[in-house]
Amino acid sequence: MTLTVGVFALQGDVREHLEVLGGLGVRALGVRRPSELDLCDALVLPGGESTTMAKLARTFELFDPIRKRLADGMPTLGTCAGMILLADRIEDGAAGQETFGGLDVTVRRNAFGRQVDSFEGDIDVKGLVEPMHAVFIRAPWVEQAGPDVEVLARVEDGAAAGRIVAVRQGHLLATSFHPEVNGDPRVHGLLVDLIRTT
């Protein structure tokens, strides 16, 4: 049976995620309405603007269905803004900013700075044999992780050395960086593995 992985498609880095997922042999589907979410075995919450994404999810009546699917155990990958949307708590969030929640972390928005502070670097990610070339664009980081959260990666050098940039809690994966932009499908592969084991 072919697995279907949806990508939240109301705002953000959608096309690149769909291409990576398609290359992994799953059916990749842009999700803009609840009926499309119903077809999905897993979901990707892409990079973008987290406050706008949450507001659009409300407008298109996707917010509560996504929150319910997450609570019911749907495997989900959040990248950059998607990490923020999965977090239970936000530092430096906009007034009244909502998240889908489910991930017992505190995430700091734009932790690495503005667009001009975006950077790239190789990081070791738990579960991957070789280091991953990671692209950080106005990225968040995890300030605090709860006891059930597994830290998968930290920044290894520079001013942000030691900061948490990838985590997993049960069926939820999240990265500060954009795994869809460098042609390396291994983080998406971790999501596909989660579907098969949960």
Q: Which of 17, 171, 178, 188 is catalytic?
A: 178
> What is the rounded CA–CA span in Å between residue 81 and residue 78?
7
Residue 178 bears catalytic tag: yes
Q: Tokens at residue 41, please?
A: 């075995």
> What is the rounded CA–CA span in Å between residue 110 and residue 19?
26
Residue 40 bears catalytic tag: no
Residue 49 bears catalytic tag: no
Q: Which of 80, 98, 171, 188 is catalytic?
A: 80
User: What residues are labeled active site?
Assistant: 80, 178, 180
